[in-house]
Amino acid sequence: MDASVPAANGHHEAAMGKLSLENGHATVAFSELKERLSPKARVVVEGEEGFDQARQIWNRAIDRRPRLVVSVTSGQDIAESIKSAQECGLKVSIKGGGHSWCGTSMRDGALALDLGGLKGLKVDATSKTAWVDAGVCSQELHDAIIPLGLAFPFPHCPCVPVSGFTVAGGLGMNARAWGFGVVNVLAAEVVLADGSIIQASPEENDEIFWALRGAGAGSFFVVTKFKFRLFDDCAIVSCSTLYPIDKTAEVGEHWLSAMQAGPPNVEQRMVFMTGEEGIPLVEMYCTAYADTEAAARALLEPYLSCQVAPHKAPHVYKDTWQNMYDVMIAELPDEHHFAVDNAVVSWDSVTDLLGPLAELYRQTPNPKNMIITAGIGYAGAPIDAAFKTPPYRSSYVGFYSLWKPNDERYVFPGAPTSALEGASMAEANQAWVSKGTALVKDVKIGHSLTEVDLRAKGKAEACYTKANWRMLQDLQKKYDPNELFFRYYL
């Protein structure tokens, strides 16, 4: 006999080999839902073996319990799941890969759609385009197109699927030059809240096409596949230089000057981090993309001319997409708890922020924590989409805290500890991230939706222009009047 989903009163109910979902208005048999789906689709219900694994998302600090998780393999599976959710009064959450820092993909009491089984990928090397299913991750896209001499502004993390990455904007590798993920969407297949499957493009269902390029966690539809514009592969060279954290102001002035004068095909970051010796450092880390290795190396010269004595000599090396994946995995490993938030600020604000950011990092309760500042403005023209294109002269400031429950507290020598005494590791890390967001509150010009903390009201709106936010609300009411899909906030 199949185990059952808890009804509204929290009790399990099973009979005649069928599993029912109840809300007082409709009952849907579990066996009937299974029969509607393709053979490779999988339904796991609360209480069944494998449920905890099915509801697991990347941020282990989040523990939410949907009523059931449906792992789909086609747009039709999604349509049938949506119909079943409507019949039994369940809301629907959408899990691309579960990498949302604040866990918007997994909601209590929901029917959770897992898109990880959507793995279709068709490349047209002649037109430099590809149809890519929602569950295809960055590594899989890379492995399919790099051998063809093609590339894409890939998600930085190899296990992040294109789905959530793209609909939230898509701040990928070399995005300042090639454009964010949303800039490179040419068309898409979408399942609407009424279960209909449509094609969306500038010529067809243009309202949905506008919305899917930026709606993110507030999506009132499910994108099953994207048609992407691809690019010729390129040479990549990176450089990393570590400096004492008390030299942040001088290093930051040089970094900002080089960034302002340089082209968009250089990614520039200043990263506050803990060095191998257990001391706080600031890293100037830059990656150049160009037609040749020599040209890429030349683009990095302005960053290497900083006159501040480094903690460790600059490391300049020929890079690869794969190596950049490996670096990201090392910095943000699996099976950790995370607290993350961010802001977008103008270049004019960066200089004044660097000193306070350095001081905040001295107070980190955890050596794994990082603060990342990076230029993110797109060099091309803003697109007509829900996504708010960051101004060219803007920078990202992200606060990243990661830990395991049994990690020991860590305090740098001489750092103040009174504010965090007695706090648990989770409380201390969250308090540290909150201090970071308070630092940038008065100078922020927005947020990056992919890494904003949506537990705080008002932050979703700040990811959009006022006009685009109003348009999204209007389209949500038009296409999902009964709010089948969750909105932004947790």
Here the tokens at position 59 are 């941020």
Domains: count for the chain: 3
- Are the beta carbons of 286 and 238 closer than 8 angstroms? yes
Task: Give me the helices (H) in 286-424, please.
Answer: 293-304, 321-331, 347-362
Nearest to 221 by CA among 167, 258, 178, 278: 167
Domain membership flag for residue 413: yes
Count of alpha carbons within 13 Å of 52, Cβ hemisphere only?
3
Q: What is the pLDDT of residue 34?
A: 79
Q: Are residues 20 and 151 in the same domain?
A: no
Task: Tell me the residue range of the domain where 450 lies.
Answer: 235-463
| pLDDT, tens digit (0-9, with 9 covering 90-100), for 150-206 | 999 999 999 999 999 999 999 999 999 999 999 999 999 999 999 999 999 999 999
Q: Which of 232, 262, 294 is the C-terminal boundary of a domain?
A: 232
Q: Are residues 288 and 416 in the same domain?
A: yes
Q: Are residues 245 and 184 in the same domain?
A: no
Q: Which of 94, 114, 134 is the C-terminal boundary of a domain?
A: 114
Q: Are residues 284 and 328 in the same domain?
A: yes
Please state, in angstroms and rounded to a whole number, the distance separating the CA atoms of residues 451 and 157: 13
> Could you tell me the CA-to-CA distances from 383 to 169, 185, 210, 213, 447 in Å, in that order?
11, 11, 9, 9, 18
Q: What is the pLDDT of residue 10?
A: 35
Task: Give me the helices (H) in 196-304, please.
Answer: 206-212, 248-261, 293-304
Please state, in angstroms and rounded to a whole number, the distance separating the CA atoms of residues 424 and 340: 17
Q: Is the pLDDT of residue 25 over 80?
A: no
Q: Indicate the average pLDDT of the chain.
A: 92
Q: Is the pLDDT of residue 113 over 60?
A: yes
**CATH number of 21's domain:** 3.30.43.10
Q: Are residues 277 and 355 in the same domain?
A: yes
Domain membership flag for residue 479: no
Nearest to 286 by CA among 316, 306, 309: 316
Residue 448, by phi and psi: left (phi above 0), alpha (psi -120 to 50) or beta?
beta
Q: Are residues 95 and 144 in the same domain?
A: no
Compute the average pLDDT of residues 377-391: 95
Confidence of residue 114 (pLDDT cuts 50, 70, 90): very high
Compute the average pLDDT of residues 81-91: 93
| pLDDT, tens digit (0-9, with 9 covering 90-100), for 290-326 | 999 999 999 999 999 999 999 999 999 999 999 999 9
Domain membership flag for residue 82: yes
Q: What is the pLDDT of residue 347?
A: 94
Q: Which of 114, 140, 161 is the C-terminal boundary of a domain?
A: 114
Domain membership flag for residue 169: yes
